[in-house]
Amino acid sequence: MTRLGESVRRASALLAQDLSSDTVVRQLLEETRARRYLDLTDLPPRRQAELIASRAVEILPSVDRLAEEIEKARAAGRGLHVKLGIDPTAADVHLGHTVPMIVLSRFQRMGHEVTLIIGDITAKIGDPSGRSSERPPLTDEDIARNLAGYRDQVRPFFNFDRVRVRHNSEWLAGITLPRLIGILAQVPASALLQREDFRTRLEAGHGLTMSELIYPVAMAIDSAEIEADIELGGVDQLLNMQMGRRVMEIYGQQPQMICTMPLIEGTDGSGAKMSKSKGNYVGLTAAPDDVFGKIMSIPDRLMEPYLRAWTEWSDEEVAAALGRVADGSLHPMDLKKTLAGEVVAAIHGVDAAMAAREGFTAQFSRRSFTEVRSLPEVDLAEHGRETAVTVLTKILDFAPSASAARRLAKQNGLRLVLEAAGGEQQAAVLPEADALRPLGEVVAERLSGAGGTPPAGVYLKAGRKLARLLAGE
C-alpha cells in the first residue's frame, strides 16, 4: 500500500467515529495535516493523474494524457515541468489564492519540477480576465511591496525551498519588436477578441487597450520560454493558458497541458467568488479564532467545495463524511467544525485549531447569550442615532463596508435577538430598510412590539457575529 493509502486508511477510521469528540478531531487533524507534507513519489502515474484531476475543473487534453506524460517523464528519469504564474497584484493573500498552490504542492511531492513565474512584467500590463474595465497597471514599487509578504503567507501550503522561481522580466524585458511582431503575426485577432469579457466591454461601449490584447500573448511566452509541460491556473485563466499552447507551437514546442482550478465561492454564500472587494474572504494573516469563525459562518452547501479546495481529504473521505451527514449519523455542525479546524490547522497548526474550536464552542454553542461575557457592546445612549449599517462597519467592525452590511441585511443575515431571563430567545430579521434607520429607533420599536417583561438581554446578530446592545437613556 502507498504512503497516501495508509494515511487514508487511518483517517477513514477516524471519520467513522464521533466527530463531536475533541480527541477524535485532534487525531484526525494531526493525520490530515501531516498528509500535506507526505512524500507521494510512490504513487503510480495513473493515481498521480487522478489525484490532480480530483481537485481540478478540467485537465486538457485529458486525464489519460496526463497519466501518459507522467509515465514518459518517469521513464526518462525526470518529472513533468509544472508552471504556475502569479501577478503580484496585492500585498495580502487570502484562502482563495491557495487553491492552485495546494495542487502545485501535490505535483511537487510527486517528484515533478515546479516553476513559479512571478509576473513582474505582465503585472504592469494588468490581467483583464473577467474585468469590466482596464486594471490599473502596477509600478515596480507596488510589485516589490506585494511580493515581500507573499511567500510567508502562502508557505503553510507550499514548500518554497523546492521550487524554481523565475521573473518573466528575464525574457520579456529583452524581447525585440521584430520578435514580438513575428509571434503576433501568427495569432489571429479573433482568438483574442473571442473572450466574453472583451466582447461585453466592447458592446457596452467601454474601452479596450492594445496592452490588454497583448497580455495573453505575453503570458503565453512565459510557457514557451520555460518549456512547460503543464500549466495550472484558475478556470478564468483558461483562454490565457490556451494561448500558451498556441505560442508554444509557434516556438516549435509540444503544447503544454492545462489544469484549470475552481474559483471558490466566498464565505457569505452570495454566489460571488472569494475576494477582498466583496469582504467574503479568509485572510492568511487572520487570527485562528477569526479563521475558524469565518468558516463556521458559511452555508452548509459550501462544506463540500471547501473540503475539496482546502483539505487533503481524498474523494472517498469527503464522500464518506457527507454520506454520514445525509443519513443522520453525523451532525452538519460537527462536520463544519472539523472543516474549520482543518483550515486553521493548515495555517496555524493543530494546537491553534483545537484552541479555536474550544473558543468557538464556549462562545457560540451556549443556549443563553447572557452567559457569554466577552461579547462586544454597543451603548445605544451613545450610538443609538447611528444606523445599523454604520454600527456594523464603524463601531463593531462586523462588516468591511456599508455595501457589505446592506448585502448581509438583504440576505436575511441581520437579526435583533431578545433574550428572556430564562434563556428563551426571540429573533427578528432586520430588513435592509431597518438597517438604514437609526438603530436606537429600531430597537425601541421592537421592544415596544414585544410587550410583557423587558428582556434580560438585547443583541445584534450579523451572520455569526454577535454584539450586546446596552439600553440608552
Q: Give the Cα separation of 206 and 208 in Å (integer).
A: 7
Provide the CATH topology of domain 377-470.
3.10.290
Q: What is the pLDDT of residues 339-383, one digit of tens each?
A: 999 999 999 999 999 999 988 887 665 555 665 556 789 999 899
Provide the CATH topology of domain 56-260.
Rossmann fold (3.40.50)
Beta bridge partners of 114: 82
pTM exceeds cut of 0.85: no
Under CATH, which number does the domain 1-34+262-365 receive? 1.10.240.10
Q: Give the Cα separation of 427 and 403 in Å (integer).
A: 23
State how far Cα 328 lies from the chain centre. Answer: 29
* pLDDT exceeds cutoff 70 at 53: yes
Tell me which long-range contacts 152-156 makes (C-beta under 8 A, separation of at least 24). Answer: 153/92, 153/93, 153/284, 153/285, 154/93, 154/97, 154/98, 154/101, 154/284, 156/284, 156/346, 156/347
Q: What is the pLDDT of residues 78-119, one digit of tens each?
A: 999 999 988 766 667 788 888 999 999 999 999 999 998 988
Q: What sign for the dihedral angle of Cα 202, 204, 209, 214? A: negative
Beta bridge partners of 83: 115, 231
Q: Where are the domains of the chain?
A: 1-34+262-365, 56-260, 377-470
Q: Give the Cα separation of 37 and 179 in Å (integer).
A: 43
Q: What is the pLDDT of residues 421-446, one digit of tens each?
A: 766 778 788 999 999 999 999 999 88
pLDDT of residue 24: 96
pLDDT of residue 247: 95
Query: Does the fold of domain 377-470 match that of domain 1-34+262-365?
Result: no
pLDDT of residue 291: 93
pLDDT of residue 371: 58
Q: What is the pLDDT of residues 250-289, one digit of tens each?
A: 999 999 999 999 999 998 888 888 888 778 889 888 899 9
Say what percent of the chain tops pLDDT 70.
90
Tell me which long-range contacts 206-210 makes (C-beta under 8 A, separation of at least 24). Answer: 206/132, 206/133, 207/134, 208/134, 209/134
Q: Give the Cα separation of 440 and 442 in Å (integer).
A: 6
Q: Give the Cα separation of 316 and 51 in Å (integer).
A: 12
Asked which of 68-72, 73-77, 208-212, 324-328 is least confident by mean pLDDT, the reply is 208-212
Q: What sign for the dihedral angle of Cα 358, 360, 365, 369? A: positive
Strand ranges in 262-309 using DSSP code E only, listed in sequence order: none
